[in-house]
Chain A
Amino acid sequence: MLAYCIRRLLIAIPTILLLIVACFFLMHFAPGGPFTSERPLPPAVLANIEARYGLDQPLWKQLWDYLYNIVVHFDFGPSFKFKDRDVNDIIAQGFPISLTYGSLSFLVATAVGVSLGIAAAIRHNSWIDYFAVGLGIAAQALPNFIMGPILILTFTLWLGWLPGGGWNGGQWQYLIMPVIALATSYMGSIARITRSSMLEVLNSNFIRTARAKGLPTRTVIWRHALKPTLLPVVSYLGPVFVYVLTGSVFVDIYFSTGGLGQAYVGSALSRDYAVLLGVTILYGALTVIVNLLTDLAYAWFDPKIRY
């Protein structure tokens, strides 16, 4: 198992390097640059600025310097757009915010989704089932950029219960709406996957055996059916976890939370190479780690899996 983890982490290094190289070239091949604007700068000024950021060097040299600084100094370089701020600062500021509301959303989506799915499967074809299926589909059909305005309209403008935006150090009033907006559609998917998985498990031979042994229904469900039910849910949760951890641009824009999502999209639009690459590497590393955690989690759910 330890050997497996080390092996996986070793494989992650070339993966992330490949990711960096691919993104680096993709970005540089896209038309325009960080200092292109509608009103062109005087050529001398532009050349000065480009020299300051090393953009006048050949591409392979730029890539080499970039990788060298990361590996040796853990320095992702300065932002091209925001003077006096480098990528490490931007991530250090935005990521904790995204992490906070993202992991809360993840918990809410998982807890509510799984409970709803299980309740629906146990009471198959009853009103609970129909309610859960309906809610699941509705939630899935409401992406966060629809949920955002709806929530703000309801809780801020009509009811006046919650502040319409801002972060304020992550006070609970400021957290509620971003968390709900981000969690809803995942919750819907999780509920649907859990429900169909549980229905399948309840039809399987070992559940028939458990019933034939005279076990009470709650033992059959919690002891025998739950773990196999969650196996497909876990494989869905892995990517979701990465996605919500890194925040959402829509949430950041609607609720002015100042998370990493906004910085990411902003940097892509303004060709802020350093920020874009830095955040991409963060996503990549998180994906690798979460995938590893998901795979390790499988072994707990299914003893057949050995590493």
Chain B
Amino acid sequence: MSLFSIKDLSVRFNTPDGVVEAVKGISFDINPGECLGIVGESGSGKSQTFMAAMGLLPPAGHASGSAMLNGKEILNLPVNKLNKIRGDDVGMIFQDPLTALTPHLRIGQQMREVLQVHEGLQGSAARGRCLDWLNRVRIPEAARRLDQYPHELSGGMRQRVMIAMSMLCNPKLLIADEPTTALDVTVQADILDLMVRLQKDEGTAIALITHDMGVVARMCDRIQVMRMGQFVEAGETRDIFRAPQHEYTRTLLDAMPRIDAGDAPKALEKDDEPLLKVDNVQVHFPIHVSGGLFGRKVPLKAVDGVSFDIRKGETLGVVGESGCGKSTLARAVLQLIEPSGGNVSWLGHPIVGLKRAELNKYRKDLQIVFQDPLASLDPRMTISASIAEPLKTYRPDLTERERKDMVAAMMERVGLNANMINRYPHELSGGQNQRVGIARAMINKPKLIICDEAVSALDVSIQAQIVELLRELQQEFGLSMIFISHDLSVVRAVSNRIMVLYLGRIVELGDGEVICSDPIHPYTKSLISAVPIPDPDVERSRQRLKLPGELPSPMDPKAALRFLPSRLSTGEHDYVPQLSEVKPDHFVAEHDPLETLMAGT
């Protein structure tokens, strides 16, 4: 008998524009102990399906059909009956661990109340059980965590707490709604490992809701592919990856970039004069720490001495985990924030410390596309006005007519319909808005575009389209790109060279393919090995390189020398690891041998 069974489930939302059917009569089963993947892009109804079953829809949502747990109907039960099931028979974890825990209650309080409600367990017995589970999800110093508040823990640790909390009453089913989407790759890999182990050891069935085919390949026994409220394909994971039947499944799989595809663009020859030269750039932010009567300021070294150059027509990929300074570096290169030290020169002209008016001459050639397409456009300007704005600054000689024609031509070039000229950003989809952002950046035919996580917020199929568009534009206009992303697979697919950042410093810089297939620095190795590959056979047989310890805080003075403990032990805390050219055009930061690092701590 199946553990969890959905029949003919429909979810409708009453909106001011009428009734929207988010889920259109779907059916599926989950067997005890298995991991079922529900795969789909945003708006496919994959989360709403489970929210409906657990009675967690917003007030405007209505569910009909049937949801059986252990043979008992649970759909639309009154709240007090559902409360017996939630957290007891069914545990849930969500996408964003940073906001999923109550900020003003200690971890221990939040965990204990689950035991109190479902098992009447209190006091030291409850505390013991919580401690036990925190240890099982491998949280370091578990006892201390019980008395900490959520904000004192990193994102990965909070997600572990969420998992521990939902496993407290040994649920039969764990619903995991995009559990690793907001996390860095290495943390994602840890959390996925943990879930695999729970499934094996506790026999918990997992419903994994995700858009990431790589995660599916690692985790799931079976998959249901969902699109616009309906299932388009279902089956064993291996079968679907090997021979997808439905057009949409094929599109999804093709759109996923693979880090082992081996078709990255080659590195370009060195120019005599690089387009952009970045020399030892530093960005320090003063951070207020308490201490003494008036506290004191300590510099947070967001970018700490980064040097590289960009060749004409080249794409440089910048990767690193959150807090490594990649976005700060982008802004410092463009002088959107002033570097605390170092130099940036554009075609041989230094541009650091220039006055606004002088800088504007260079800005025409240096453009940026931001992460959140909707938030980076002025909500009160039509998209054509946004695209036309740089023209008004740099081409005041143009007539209204000419400007309109150029905007129309650019919109067509980036794949926006001509009839959209008078639309506002909120009327467009995320992908369309990002096309607007690209059109705005491209309208003056710049020589360099920085894409700061430009495709990270988009669905995979849209992401593939935008990446393709960027590549075409690069070919057509011969522009150079700095492509910043936390997603190594995407970076690899577009970059001639890749630069790996760790806490504001370069650890490795070289040909994109070489970095991905044959990395030298231990940090790069661990990053690459954590990237999931959308192929179940490859993914499950891969060995992960797991460095000891969590990603440290940039405020930790010892963090910068994590890969050079030999210098730490000799007391040289301020030592800066030097970059050396191990092969032509392949730079690696000084580090201790991998064996030493794995043995330490």
Contact = CB atoms under 8 A, between A and B. Distances in A.
Given A205-B94, A306-B290, A215 B83 contact: yes
A203 B60 CA distance: 12
Interface residues of A, number: 31
Interface in A272-307: 301-304, 306-307
B102 A206 contact: yes
Contacts of A203: 58
A213 B87 contact: yes
Contacts of B165: 213
Interface string B65-101: 0000000000000011011111110011010100111
B94 A303 contact: no
Contacts of B85: 214
Contacts, number: 88
B244 to A, nearest CB: 33
A148 B100 CA distance: 48
A39 interface: no
B151 A303 contact: yes
Nearest to A231: B104
Interface in B174-228: none
A303 to B, nearest CB: 4
Interface residues of B, number: 37
Interface string A227-256: 110000000000000000000000000000
A224 B166 CA distance: 17
B398 interface: no
A301 B105 CA distance: 10
Nearest to B86: A214
B103 A214 contact: no
Q: Which of B82, B105, B166 has the most CB of A within 10 A?
A: B105
Contacts of B18: none
B164 to A, nearest CB: 12
Interface string B149-189: 10100000000001001100000000000000000000000
A212 B118 CA distance: 12
Nearest to B51: A208
Given A214-B114, A224-B102, A304-B151, A208 B56 contact: yes
A302 B103 contact: yes
Interface string B410-435: 00000000000000000000000000
Q: Mostly helix, strand, loop or mixed at chain B's interface?
A: loop
A124 B60 CA distance: 11
B83 to A, nearest CB: 4
A212 B104 contact: no
Q: Which of B80, B85, B103, B290 has the most CB of A within 10 A?
A: B103
A6 B102 CA distance: 32
Contact of A208 (B84, B94, B166, B294): B94
A223 B92 CA distance: 20
Contacts of A4: 290
A304 B87 contact: no
B113 interface: yes
Contacts of B59: 124-125
B56 A214 contact: no
A209 interface: yes
A48 interface: no
A205 B97 CA distance: 9
Nearest to B79: A217
B280 to A, nearest CB: 35
A4 B92 CA distance: 41
Interface string A7-21: 100000000000000
Contacts of B162: 209
A203 B57 CA distance: 11
A259 to B, nearest CB: 38
A121 to B, nearest CB: 12
B83 A223 contact: no
Contacts of B99: 204-206
B100 A215 contact: no
B243 interface: no
B54 interface: yes
B310 to A, nearest CB: 40
Given A205-B96, A212-B56, A219-B113, A301 B104 contact: yes
B149 A304 contact: yes
B292 interface: yes
A205 B91 CA distance: 15
A211 interface: yes
B104 A213 contact: no
Given A206-B100, A211-B56, A214-B117, A303 B149 contact: yes
Contacts of A216: 80, 83, 117
Contacts of B294: 7
Contact of A214 (B87, B149, B290, B293): B87
Contacts of A302: 103-104
A3 interface: yes
A223 B105 contact: yes
A210 interface: yes
Contacts of A301: 104
Interface string A171-213: 0000000000000000000000000000000011110111111
Given A214-B114, A303-B151, A306-B290, A205 B100 contact: yes
A7 B293 contact: yes
B296 to A, nearest CB: 12
A227 B166 CA distance: 24
B151 A214 contact: no
Nearest to B91: A212
Q: Which of A211, A213, A227 has the most CB of B within 10 A?
A: A213
B293 A3 contact: yes
Contacts of A304: 103, 149, 151
Interface in B321-352: none
27 contacts: A3-B293, A4-B290, A124-B59, A203-B58, A205-B96, A208-B56, A209-B92, A212-B56, A212-B87, A212-B92, A213-B86, A213-B87, A214-B84, A214-B86, A214-B88, A214-B114, A214-B117, A215-B117, A219-B117, A228-B103, A228-B104, A302-B103, A302-B104, A303-B103, A303-B104, A304-B103, A307-B290
Interface of A: 3-4, 6-7, 124-125, 203-206, 208-217, 219, 223-224, 227-228, 301-304, 306-307
10 shortest interchain CB distances as A-B pairs = A214-B87, A214-B86, A213-B87, A205-B99, A212-B92, A214-B83, A303-B149, A206-B102, A227-B104, A205-B100
